[in-house]
Every structure is written in C-alpha cells, then in structure tokens.
Structure 1
C-alpha cells in the first residue's frame, strides 16, 4: 500500500469536506463564487500541467475533447447548484443529498445504457430515497415552491450533474487529469462570464476574500492536485473508502462550528443515505470475490 498516496488522498478529501464552511463565509452568490473557482483552478492546474511537462505527452482526439467539454458543463452546473443548496439549507443536509451521485449513475446506466439493475441496486435506491425524505422532512414536499425554497431541488440537481460528469467522463481515457480539469474549468469561465455581476465583489471584507480565494486556490487548485496525484497510485476500493472522509468532515464542521443540530429523523436520513451508498460500493466487491 502506498502510504504517501493514501495520506495525500485523505488530506484532499478532508479539505473537500470544508468547502461548505468556506462557501457560506464568502459573502457572494454561487455563480460568482464558481466563476472565481474556475479561474483559480485554470491558472493553478494549468501551471502545474506546464511545469511538470505533462502537456508534451497529451494525446488529443476530437471525440475526447468534445466529451470533456460536455463534462465541463455538468461539472460547473454541479458546483453552482451545490453552492446554491448551501445558501438554502444546512451543509450536512446538502452534502448528504449531493453524495447520492453514485446512485444516480446506477439509474442513468439503467435508463441510457439498458444496464440491468440488480435487486441490491434497487434496494439501495429505495433506501437512499427514504433517507432523502427523512432528512428534508415530508412537509417540504407539499409543493414545488416549498421544494425549491428548502434547497432540496438545488442539492438534487447538483447530485444529478455530478453523476452526469462521472457518466460522460467514463469514456475519457487518453487525456491526463490535468488536461481534463484545465479544459473543464476553462469551459466554466466561458459559461459563467455573461452572467457574472462584478458588483458583488465591492465592499467585501478581508475575511470574505480569504474564503473566496481559499475556495478557488485550496479547494480547487491544491486539492485537485493532491487528488489526481494520489489517484493513480491507489486501488479503487481504497479510493471509494477515502471518499467518505469528505462528507464526514463537512458534517462535523457543520455541527461543531456552525451549530447544526440534526433531528432524530434527519440523523436517520443521513444514516440511510450513506448506508445505501456504501452498500452500493461494497456489494460489487463482495460479488467479485465470490
């Protein structure tokens, strides 16, 4: 086992987990924050791509570049919707729903690729759905406006867009992780530029700028560097396990620093969601061993 790679991945996931705490302290809307994030990531990872000389070995194909651009659209929408969810609901609830992405990948595979869903997969989907209902509360599902105002719609959309990013990205094999992210964040800059209100950046405090730049440089630049650098040196099962460091840190920060106090039903909902996701990830491994 590569201990250095495990440590890098753990640090990356822990830092990812603090993004919600940073986001709610930036003082700017989701679109503008994602715009800054894309700029920082493009400069940081683009610089690393050039510095390491990785660009010299790239094999660009039209098909993969088009897929990467499509992934970029979904990735940026995923960020915008997640940050909008943070504006409307607690970080713990938003992160729990956001992590339903693997379940949506299962559903997309069944609908678009005609992949047959196993009984265990259907069971996981039902468990995660029940968890979502419990964590939000039945009263939030009485009308469309109630769902939107609760932030549930934004969180679900972020999970769906993240699932689409993973789903479309499966076919990208030649481009390096740096090239992939560089193209995606450049797409984000172009996408968001027409909608940015630069007036929101006026009157911000030093701490606002600390959290804004931290979200861009730390959570997007540095974290993605650690993530990609360690990913190639770790088996899939270890990566799948370490990914859960992200929501654990997010929920702990929400409870310890932002004073979020989940109800019994919300706690049960969180347990059901992550239980269903873990079951989905672990079950195939057990079947493979059999």
Structure 2
C-alpha cells in the first residue's frame, strides 16, 4: 500500500465531507455558488496544469473532448442539485441520498456495459433501496411533505453524479488536469447566462471566504489530491475511503449544526452505507486477490 497516496486520498475525502458545512455559510444560492466554485477551480487548475508540465504532453482527441464536455454539463448539474438539497434539508440526509450514485452506476453498467450483477450485488442494491425509503420517512413520497423537494434534489444530484462517472469511464488519454479544467470551463460557460451577479454584492467578508474556499479547496485542491492518489492505490482502498466523505459530513451536521436523525433515518443511513460498502468493496477485494488492480478511471469523482 502506498502510504503517501493513502494519506492524500484520506485528506481529500475528509475535506470534501465538509462541503455542505461550507456551502451553508457562503450565503449564496446554489447556482451562484457553483459558478464561483468553477471560476476558483479554473484559476487553480490552470496553474497546476502548466506547472506540472502536462500542458505540453497532452494527446487531444475530438471524441474524448466531447465526452469531457458532456461530463462538464452533468457535473455542474450534479453540483447545482446537491447544493439545492443542502438549502432545503439536512446535510446528513442530502449526502446519504447523494451516495446512491454508485448504485445507479452498478445498475446502468448492467444494461449499458453488460456487467453481470451477482446475487450479493442484488441483495446490496435491495438494501440501498430499503435504506433510502427509511431515510425519506413515512411522508417522503407525498408532495405535502416539507422535505420532499430537498430529497428529490439530492436524488437528482446522485443521478447526474452517476452520469458523470459513466461518461468518465471512456476518458483515457487526456490528463486529469486537462479533463477537470475543461469540465470547470464548460460548467462556468453553461451557467454564465443564468447567474444573478447581484447575489454577490450582499456578501460579507466571512461569506466571501467560505465561497472562495469552496472553490479553491473543495474543488481545485481536492481534485488534485484525489486524482493523484487513486493512480497509486488498489480499488478496494479507494472504494472504502470515499466513505470518509459522508462520514465527515454527517459528523459535522450532527456535532456542529445540531441535526438529530430520528430512529428510522438512523436505520436508513446505516442500511444504505452498509449495503453500499458491501456492493462495492467485496467484488473489488475478490478481483485484487486474483491479481487485478482495478484502479478507477479518470473522471470517477465529480
């Protein structure tokens, strides 16, 4: 196990887990926060791309560039819906539903790439579905439920997160710097006509700090750490460490903001993440015992 890479990934996931906390203190609507995040990330990633030397070694492909552009669109929609869900429901519930994305990838892979689902995967998927129902609660499917829209936004974010991962599976030649930078630029351009710039004028210095940190740290810095580390780690380690992200998010939500999930929601969180770990970790561990590395492809983290 590459210990520096392991520590980098652990740090990246721990930082990313605080994004819900930062977004709530930025004082910006979801769309304007995502636009600011894109601009900050473009500045940092452009510098990293040039300084790393990857700029001069790129092998461009028209097909891959179109795929990366599509990833940029799905990625920015993923962020918008995630931040919208943070506005309406607790970070704990939003981030739990958001992590349905790997389940959606497994299901889509069984249809699009003919990946066969084994019995254990089917049981794990059923567990994820049951956990989701418990998270939504008895009123989750009624339009009159106060948290209904927030939950719907979180599930929509998971859908676009999964779409980004699936599209990213085919990006192989372009460097991670160029891939992520293009995604940020596409996101900024797509949002530009809809941004209400007046939203930025009312921010106080503290809110500006949270907004800028969300772009520089949670996007640029975390992306660099994540993509640099996963190339040197087995897939089982990566699949398990990504759950540091929701663990930190839930701990911050409970410890700092004071959210208290009810017993049904607590059972749903445990069932959802337990099933996810079972669905993702067991097949990868079996693969690595047979000698495969299975390191995730670029673009696997939105």
CA-atom RMSD in angstroms: 1.5
Q: Deviations over 1:80-135 (max 9, x none)?
A: 11000101110011111111111000111123334332222221221111111111
Q: Answer whether contact 1:147 1:153 (CA < 8 A) is retained.
A: no
Q: Answer whether contact 1:148 1:154 (CA < 8 A) is retained.
A: no
**Where do 1:89-104 residues align within 5 Å?**
89-104=89-104
| TM-score, normalisation: structure 1 | 0.96
SS at match of 1:141: coil
How far did residue 241 of structure 1 move? 1.6
Which ranges of structure 1 fall in alignment gaps of 5 or more residues? none
Q: Answer whether contact 1:255 1:261 (CA < 8 A) is retained.
A: yes
Of 240-249 and 120-129, deviating more is: 120-129
How far did residue 257 of structure 1 move? 0.3
Residue of structure 2 in register with 1:202 after alignment: 201
Q: Deviations over 1:154-204 (max 9, x none)?
A: 000111111111111101110111110000000001100000000111121
Residue of structure 1 in register with 2:78 after alignment: 78
Distance 1:164 1:50, change over 3 A: same
SS at match of 1:262: coil
**Structure 2 residue 218 is the aligned partner of structure 1 residue 193:** no
Q: Answer whether contact 1:31 1:80 (CA < 8 A) is retained.
A: yes
C-alpha distance in structure 2 between counterparts of 1:178 and 1:216, whole Å: 16
Residue of structure 2 in register with 1:180 after alignment: 179
C-alpha distance in structure 1 between counterparts of 2:214 and 2:284, whole Å: 34
Residue of structure 1 in register with 2:212 after alignment: 213
Distance 1:54 1:36, change over 3 A: same
Which structure shows the bigger proportion of residues in helix conformation? Answer: 1
How far did residue 39 of structure 1 move? 0.7
Residue of structure 1 in register with 2:115 after alignment: 115
Residue of structure 1 in register with 2:296 after alignment: none
Residue of structure 1 in register with 2:128 after alignment: 128
**Where do 1:219-230 residues align within 5 Å?**
219-230=218-229
How far did residue 285 of structure 1 move? 3.0
| TM-score, normalisation: structure 2 | 0.92
C-alpha distance in structure 1 between counterparts of 2:164 and 2:202, whole Å: 35
**Where do 1:20-169 residues align within 5 Å?**
20-143=20-143, 146=145, 149-169=148-168
Question: Matched residue pairs, number?
Answer: 289
SS at match of 1:117: coil
Q: Answer whether contact 1:140 1:150 (CA < 8 A) is retained.
A: no
SS at match of 1:175: coil
SS at match of 2:203: coil
Q: Answer whether contact 1:130 1:269 (CA < 8 A) is retained.
A: yes
C-alpha distance in structure 1 between counterparts of 2:231 and 2:146, whole Å: 40
Which ranges of structure 2 fall in alignment gaps of 5 or more residues? 291-302
C-alpha distance in structure 2 between counterparts of 1:204 and 1:121, whole Å: 47
Residue of structure 2 in register with 1:261 after alignment: 260
Q: Deviations over 1:63-94 (max 9, x none)?
A: 11111111111111101110001011100111
SS at match of 1:151: helix
C-alpha distance in structure 1 between counterparts of 2:275 and 2:241, whole Å: 17
